[in-house]
Chains A and B, each alone.
Chain A
């Protein structure tokens, strides 16, 4: 009998067919995994709504206590003005500063305003009213009108209350404020109303994609092993690189769908601009999806079980949230943390998407980040293909 002739060399057409076979198989399996399929839609939807509404760095209505030791018309007006800023909300009135400290310790309030008995006199001499410019050495007139004691453990709340330090008190005397000339004039570009959602929503695309993309592919190879399909699969002529590419293509579409959900809904619900750079956005997102997927594949060749794959995903996810500039400004981090952040695809994507969506920047301005992601994608894919051995030992 003569052996049926089967090709053994490289053939792009056959390669493409095998990639297509892996792709369709992954898609069929994904379609039948209702839970995972649901998560693809639900994760971005729910996270967007949670983050968009719940996370707000413009702090308002901090519960505070008031210790009014003067009980005069002036002190009552002072309390009203403080409340009118909407930064704080008076929830308790206490007789002594000690009682106020107790209330802070018990977390009933975050801060307390102590108004001294001689508030009237202090106020009359206070420069903050603007009755005249006091000599800089004049101790009497530079005494503050009242005192805040603050639970400083949450820096965001502390700085919100600190911002009240220079609050104008002209209301008290219905006088025009002392308009001294500011040293700097500040113009806010790109997010003039200072809405948190404008910064959060594009960042959320980076976070959700990091999480879902790495999670899906980190399980991709190890799942074949756990379900017992590996021995059959490696006995076929499929090549490592074909397997890797076939496995990531379905998730590229999923990543794009998730991005569309977040940006589209962010636009409708939170009025976050999409920007005019649609093509740049598309290419940048594609690069980020690709690099996250290839990172997931590398993890998948390292993991021995799906549980380990999940653990490794979290290991990458946490620094991506904390160091990429999503949670804290990149510039404020120590140099070491910045180096780590530079390695993570999320950092580069965060810079890119905020640029595209908020600042009308394009790939031309952000080409360094785009190149990094492209390099990451190629290296990750190659590494995964090299690490994946068609052997059982």
Chain B
């Protein structure tokens, strides 16, 4: 560890004056899974396209695997894999034909092709589907094919743009296990997501909003260092309590989770439970207790209205 695979300084992309990515700084180390977490339109795809050399940055410098991008983009292509957000293999070719096509394009020796493809079909449970047209497969099957195609040439660095958005929770767990297998074998991975649970699995994440990185670091560190305490309330009149609390100074956010109201209280208030218990706004609450923060709390405190 310690060796960086991606360094970006002030990476910016403007589309006709609109900054889709705005002065992004990134340092990503070899061997880790790095997550971009952010809402729709925050610039995750645009950032990945600049890192892979598909888009030219309007400003800033990008270095990937020691090569300057986009200048050395062509040489870089042998060493990176990219799974696009929308399925981009050929729908009118079969699984096998798609993989063969990629193998030929990447110049994998004919003697090695068969074994490599068979290995990937096996690993990603595609062996039975090898004659199926890619366009006729389910979202989860297509996602496995796309991953197989992206790692076919054994890239050192893998970009995955919202790889699990069309996949059920069980398959998603499985998919992540496979990512850790790849990571264990030495592949560095950059993955974008808007799922908190996925982000939590990453070694490091960058929380993005409106083209900017709002926070970055290890998920655990981000939770520990969060600028707010988390308090949960129970009671019969949670909707009313919520409405009232949102007007109170020092309350960052309040959101109901089933029978509980999850309230983020600013760190400036030293004893959040006491702060809430004594107030008129929380009248009717049967339970008030402090809980451990999760990544969603980090997200809420670092973006949008809750940004501190």
Contact B93–A29 (Cβ < 8 Å): yes
Map CB proximity to A onto B84-101 as digits: 1 under 8 Å, 0 otherwise.
101111111100010011
Contact A235–B54 (Cβ < 8 Å): yes
- How distant is the Cα of A6 from the Cα of B87 in the complex, in angstroms? 26
Residue A232 interfacial (CB < 8 Å) = yes
Residue B52 interfacial (CB < 8 Å) = yes
Given contacts A28-B97, A229-B89, contact A235 B107 (CB under 8 A): no
Contact B93–A25 (Cβ < 8 Å): yes
Given contacts A29-B92, A390-B73, contact A21 B105 (CB under 8 A): yes
Contact A229–B90 (Cβ < 8 Å): yes
| CB neighbours of A32 from chain B (8 A) | 92
CB of B134, distance to nearest CB on chain A (Å)? 11
Contact B54–A234 (Cβ < 8 Å): yes
How many chain A residues have a CB neighbour from B under 8 Å?
34
Residue A188 interfacial (CB < 8 Å) = no
| CB neighbours of A235 from chain B (8 A) | 52, 54, 77, 80, 82, 84
Contact B106–A237 (Cβ < 8 Å): yes
Residue A231 interfacial (CB < 8 Å) = yes
Residue A174 interfacial (CB < 8 Å) = no
Q: Please report whether the interface of chain B is mostly helix, strand, loop or mixed according to DSSP.
A: loop
Residue B75 interfacial (CB < 8 Å) = yes
Contact A236–B87 (Cβ < 8 Å): no
Looking at the complex, which of A12-20, A40-48, A136-144, A277-285 is the stretch in contact with chain B?
A: A12-20
Residue B156 interfacial (CB < 8 Å) = yes
CB nearest neighbor in B for A239: B74
| CB neighbours of A1 from chain B (8 A) | 156, 185-186
| CB neighbours of A227 from chain B (8 A) | 90-91
Contact B77–A236 (Cβ < 8 Å): yes
Contact A393–B55 (Cβ < 8 Å): yes
- How distant is the Cα of A29 from the Cα of B86 in the complex, in angstroms? 20
Residue A153 interfacial (CB < 8 Å) = no
Contact B102–A236 (Cβ < 8 Å): yes
Residue A121 interfacial (CB < 8 Å) = no
CB nearest neighbor in A for B88: A232
- How distant is the Cα of A11 from the Cα of B109 in the complex, in angstroms? 13
Which single member of B54, B91, B100, B154 contacts A392 (CB below 8 Å)?
A: B54
Residue B49 interfacial (CB < 8 Å) = yes
- How distant is the Cα of A20 from the Cα of B75 in the complex, in angstroms? 21
Of A7, A18, A235, chain B has the most CB atoms within 10 Å of the CB of A235
CB nearest neighbor in B for A8: B75
Which single member of B78, B88, B107, B156 contacts A18 (CB below 8 Å)?
A: B107
Map CB proximity to A onto B47-66 as digits: 1 under 8 Å, 0 otherwise.
00100111110000000000
Contact B105–A391 (Cβ < 8 Å): no
Contact A391–B93 (Cβ < 8 Å): no
Contact B75–A393 (Cβ < 8 Å): no
| CB neighbours of A4 from chain B (8 A) | 153-154, 156
Given contacts A3-B79, A6-B153, A227-B91, contact A237 B74 (CB under 8 A): yes
Residue A238 interfacial (CB < 8 Å) = yes
CB of A246, distance to nearest CB on chain B (Å)? 10
Listed by A's residue number, 24 A-B pairs whose Cβ atoms lie within 8 Å are A1-B185, A6-B106, A11-B107, A18-B104, A21-B104, A25-B97, A28-B97, A29-B90, A29-B92, A33-B92, A228-B86, A230-B88, A231-B84, A232-B88, A234-B54, A235-B54, A235-B80, A236-B105, A237-B106, A238-B105, A391-B53, A391-B70, A392-B54, A393-B55
Apart from A21-B105, A25-B97, A391-B70, what 11 extra A-B contacts exist at CB < 8 Å? A4-B154, A6-B153, A17-B104, A18-B104, A20-B104, A21-B100, A21-B101, A29-B90, A229-B88, A231-B54, A232-B82
